[in-house]
Amino acid sequence: MDKVIIIGGGAAGMMAGIVLAEKGYKPIIVEKNERLGKKLFITGKGRCNLTNFCDDETFFENIVTNSKFLYSCYDNFKTNDTIDYFENLGLRIKVERGGRVFPVSDHSSDVISVLATKLKRLGVEILYNSVVTDIITEDYSIEDESKFTSIVKGIEYLDEFNKKRTIETNYIVVATGGLSYPLTGSTGDGIKWAQNMGLKIIDPKPALVPMEIKEDFCRELMGLSLKNISLSFIAKVKGKDKQVYNSFGEMLFTHFGISGPVVLSASSYLTKYINEGFRARLDLKPALSYEQLNDRILRDFSNSLNKQFRNSLDNLLPKKLIPVIINLAQIDPYKKVNEITKEERNKLVEIIKCLEMNVSGFRDFNEAIITQGGVSVKEINPKNMECKSIKGLRFIGEVLDVDALTGGFNLQIAWSTAMALD
Ligand SMILES: Cc1cc2nc3c(=O)[nH]c(=O)nc-3n(C[C@H](O)[C@H](O)[C@H](O)COP(=O)(O)OP(=O)(O)OC[C@H]3O[C@@H](n4cnc5c(N)ncnc54)[C@H](O)[C@@H]3O)c2cc1C
């Protein structure tokens, strides 16, 4: 039986172990942690959103980077195949809002457990507490396979007793993940090896990540969660201000800036603008036009003409937001409502419809759900994930320059790329 080394026992690595054992190989998973699926364990807030129940179009709409590269492997193993596959492994599945698929138990540990049980049944060897330090390659020059410049020969690793060891093989699967949440073991090792082997790397960046905001008022709003808001982002493109992203939904203020679903998704599309900095524009009342909001405020004011201004916005805005908005509108909070001028009211409307914040940066990999960048897909054959220039070397999962939005799509990438191995 041909020996295969799978580096990394995360989502992609575990699936690879099963797929290759079923194809008759003898896979050995080498995992630096003491257990499998440490990141998988924390996915979906511990519930593991393992895929999305959606059609092909929706799947590809949710892929942020290099969706075309995934056509072939996705066609071979789609989201509904994932659902069937896990059900056949004995996992009971449920579908929630937005097609998000979870185990009925709400325990990610059950997802890990069905995969681990299958690996055991298939006799897949797992080396725990074993850190791969290098991939060994050799020059390769067989004329009818001239596309390959080298061939893999094996790996070097430190075993559980920190003893240096090697395993020889001509088939290596790199499933080491990206760089996000490094405490789970994903520290970008596969990307470093690929770079050392001369493969093209797309600079890894944190994505699906909260944003830091310069303005101090964010800290005053810490913990405030807003629903039904519209958030757009304005960046300088060719020297001119341009709206580069807009979405509607939920966001959250934190001690450093902004987070929540709309912000995380936006971050994945904005990594290229981060060096120059850009602005976020918050519309707190997207369902109302400027005129409608003005009318609404006039109606509210008419019911509280003798109240202090600061006590007149309770029906319009969350309590925590009121002093911040009043301050930004530069209106005296103690002024009587009947003394508010038209200009002041216009300013108030303007702030509520267009609250600007300067984004000074993204949070780092410790808080990023996903890594954008990694091994360039140009280096990889999309049919079987083999490196085009190094025979026997495969890359699957997040180590590749592919990433998606939240909703189960990133794990689907891990499953589909693993299933493509031949
Ligand atoms: C907080 C959080 C929540 C998430 N929730 C979801 C979700 O609900 N749904 C979803 O679709 N996606 C989610 N994701 C993204 C998803 O977890 C990843 O895309 C997915 O785990 C990638 O799988 P992978 O196997 O490629 O890499 P990983 O899961 O990162 O696995 C890589 C493995 O390789 C091992 N390894 C690394 N280097 C070495 C080495 N040198 N030697 C030996 N072993 C090594 C690591 O220890 C690790 O176990 C979430 C991510 C985070 C951080």
Domains and CATH numbers, the chain: 3-206+367-419 (3.50.50.60), 210-363 (1.10.8.50)
Q: What confidence category does residue 78 fall into, taking pLDDT thresholds of 50, 70 and 90? A: very high
The per-residue pLDDT for range 291-327, each reduced to its tens digit, is 999 999 999 998 888 889 899 999 999 999 999 999 9
Q: Is the pLDDT of residue 174 over 70?
A: yes
Give distance in angstroms: CA of 333 to centre of ligand 1.
50
Residue located nearest, by CA, to atom 46 of ligand 1: 185
> How many angstroms separate the alpha carbon of residue 113 from the centre of ligand 1?
16
Q: Any residues with CB less than 8 A from the CB of 84 and at least 6 apart, and which?
A: none
Distance separating alpha carbons of residues 231 and 249, to the nearest angstrom: 8
| Confidence (pLDDT) at 351 | 96
Any idea what DSSP says for residue 244? E
Residues 6+ apart with CB under 8 A from 48: 40, 41, 102, 103, 107, 108, 110, 111, 411
Contact at 8 Å (CB) between 151 and 158? Answer: no
Considering the entire predicted model, what is its pTM? 0.95
Contact, 131 vs 157, CB < 8 A?
yes
How far apart CA 187 and CA 133 sit, in angstroms, is 12
**CA 134 to centroid of ligand 1, rounded, Å:** 20
Looking at the DSSP assignment, which residues form a beta bridge with residue 370? 207
Query: Distance between CA 421 and CA 129 in Å, rounded?
Result: 25
Nearest to 106 by CA among 93, 120, 88, 87: 93
* CB neighbour burial string for 225-239, b if at least 16 within 10 angstroms, e if fewer: ebeebbbbbbbeeee
Query: Which atom of ligand 1 is nearest the CA belonging to 49?
Result: 8
- Per-residue model confidence (pLDDT) at position 239: 85
In angstroms, the Cα distances linking 119 to 16, 116, 208, 213, 256 are 10, 5, 31, 46, 43
Atom index in ligand 1 nearest the CA of residue 403 equals 19
Amino acid symbol at 219: R
Ligand 1 atom closest to 8 (CA): 34
Return the best residue to mutate from 411, 413, 417, 419 for the ligand 1 pocket (most ligand atoms within 8 A of CB). 411
Residues 6+ apart with CB under 8 A from 238: none
* Closest ligand 1 atom, residue 157 Cα: 42
Handedness of CA 405, 410, 411, 413 (dihedral sign): positive
Which atom of ligand 1 is least distant from the CA of 180?
A: 53
Minimum-distance ligand 1 atom for the alpha carbon of 36: 49
Give the mean pLDDT of 371-390.
Answer: 97
Alpha carbon distances (Å) from 182 to 39, 207, 362: 9, 14, 17
Type of residue numbered 365:
F
Alpha carbon of residue 75 to chain centroid: 22
Query: Which residues have any ligand 1 atom within 6 Å of their CB?
Result: 7-13, 30-33, 38-40, 42-44, 48-49, 131-132, 175-177, 180-181, 185-187, 189, 369-370, 397-398, 408-411, 414
Task: Ligand 1 pocket test: pick from 160, 166, 176, 189 the residue with the most ligand atoms within 8 Å of its Cβ.
Answer: 176
Which runs of E-coded beta strand occur in 78-130? Answer: 93-95, 100-103, 125-127
Question: Could you tell me the distance, in angstroms and rounded to a whole number, from the CA of residue 275 to the centre of ligand 1?
Answer: 27
Tell me what percent of the residues of the chain surpass a pLDDT of 70.
99
| 247 CA → ligand 1 middle, Å | 27
CA nearest to 221, candidates 357, 366, 312, 45: 357
Q: What would the pLDDT profile of 226-277 be if each residue is shown by its tens digit?
A: 999 999 999 988 889 999 999 999 999 999 999 999 999 999 999 989 888 8
Residue 143 has pLDDT above 80, yes or no: no
Distance 187 CA to ligand 1 centre (A): 10
Using pLDDT thresholds of 50, 70 and 90, give the confidence band for residue 1: low
How remote is the CA of residue 411 from the centroid of ligand 1, in Å?
Answer: 9
Our mutation pick for probing the ligand 1 site, out of 369, 380, 401, 412, counting the most ligand atoms within 8 A of Cβ, is 369
Check residue 340 and give its pLDDT: 92
For the stretch 30-58, pLDDT in tens is 999 999 999 999 999 999 999 999 999 99
Whether residue 159 has pLDDT greater than 80? yes
Mean per-residue pLDDT, 375-394: 97
- Position 165 scores a pLDDT of 97
CA distance 18 to 11: 11
Sheet holding 93-95, edge to edge: 51-52, 100-103, 93-95
